[in-house]
Structure 1
Amino acid sequence: MAQQIAVIGLGSMGYGIASSVLRAGHRTWGTDVNAAQAERFRADGGEASALADHAGALDAVVVVVLNAAQTEEVLFGETGIVAAMRPGAVVIACATVPPAFARAMAARCAEHGVHYLDAPISGGAVKAAQGKLSIMASGTAEAFAAARPALSAMAETVFELGEAAGAGSAMKAVNQLLAGVHIATMAEALTFGMTQGVSPEKFMEVIPKCAGSSWMLENRAPHIVDGDYTPHSAVNIWPKDLGIVLDIARDARFSAPITAAALQQFLAAAGMGLGGEDDAAVAKVYARNAQLTLPGEDA
Structure 2
Amino acid sequence: MTLTIGLIGLGAMGSGMAQSLRRAGHSPHVFDVRPGAAEAFVRDGGHACATLADLGARCDVVVSVVVNAAQTESVLFGAGGDGDGSLAAAMQPGSVFVMCSTVDPNVSMAFESRLAKKDILYIDAPISGGAAKAASGEMTMMTAARPEAYAKAGAVLDAMAAKVYRLGDRAGAGSKVKVINQLLAGVHIAAAAEAMALGLREGVDPAALYEVITHSAGNSWMFENRMAHVLAADYTPLSAVDIFVKDLGIVLDMARATKFPLPLSSTAHQMFMQASTAGFAKEDDSAVIKIFPGIELPKKA
Using structure 1 for the length normalisation, give the TM-score.
0.95
Q: Give how far 1:248 is off.
A: 0.6
Residue 97 of structure 1 is matched in structure 2 by: 103
Q: Which residue is equivalent to 2:44?
A: 44
Match of 1:142 in 2: 148
Seen in structure 2, the aligned counterparts of structure 1 residues 54 and 196 have a Cα distance that, compared at 3 Å, is closer
Q: 1:49 to 1:31 in 2, by over 3 A?
A: closer
Q: Counterpart of 2:95 in structure 1: which amino acid?
A: A
- Structure 1 distance, partners of 2:300, 2:88, is 48
- How far the C-alpha of 1:2 sits from its partner, in A, is 4.0
1:51-200 maps to which residues of 2 (within 5 A)? 52-77=53-78, 78=80, 79-200=85-206
Letter of the aligned partner of 2:252 in structure 1? L
Name the count of aligned residue pairs.
295
Name the CA distance, whole Å, in 2 between partners of 1:184 and 1:38: 35
Q: Tell whether the 8 Å contact from 2:6 to 2:55 is kept in structure 1 after alignment.
A: no
> Could you say what the CA RMSD is over the residues aligned between the two structures, in angstroms?
1.5
Aligned to 1:19: 19
Secondary structure at 1:236's aligned position in 2? helix
| 1:296 aligned to which of 283, 296, 299 | 299
Superposed displacement of residue 297, structure 1: 6.8
Give the conservation status (yes or no) of the 8 Å contact 1:6–1:29. yes
Q: Which moved more, 1:241-250 or 1:52-61?
A: 52-61
Q: Secondary structure at the match of 2:226?
A: helix
Q: Is the contact made by 2:146 and 2:170 (CA closer than 8 Å) also made in structure 1?
A: yes
5+ unaligned residues in a row in structure 1: which ranges? Answer: none
Please tell me the residue identity of whatever aligns with 1:179. A
Q: Is the partner of 1:151 in helix, strand or coil? A: helix
Name 1:210's counterpart in structure 2: 216
Letter in 1 for 2:123: L
Give the secondary structure class of the aligned counterpart of 1:209. Answer: coil
The unaligned stretches of length 5 or more in structure 2 are none
- Are the aligned partners of 1:2 and 1:25 in contact in 2 as well (CA < 8 Å)? no
Q: Per-residue CA shift, 1:246-274, capped at 9, x if unaligned? A: 00110011011110100111111111111
Amino acid at match of 1:155: A
Q: Share of identical aligned residues, percent? A: 50
Cα distance in 1 for residues equivalent to 2:148 and 2:224: 39
State the one-letter code of the partner of 1:71.
T
C-alpha separation in 2, matches of 1:12 and 1:18: 11
- Most deviating of 126-135 and 140-149: 140-149
CA contact (8 A) 1:82 1:109 kept: yes
Q: Counterparts of 2:285 and 2:2 in 1: how far apart (Å)?
A: 37
1:253 to 255, 259, 264: 259
- The verdict on how the C-alpha distance between 1:49 and 1:14 changes in structure 2, with shifts beyond 3 A counting, is closer
- Do the aligned partners of 2:7 and 2:65 also contact (CA within 8 Å) in 1? yes
- Give the match for residue 6 of structure 2: 6
- Give runs of ≥4 in structure 1 deviating > 4 Å: none
Q: Distance in 1 between matches of 2:222 and 2:90?
A: 40
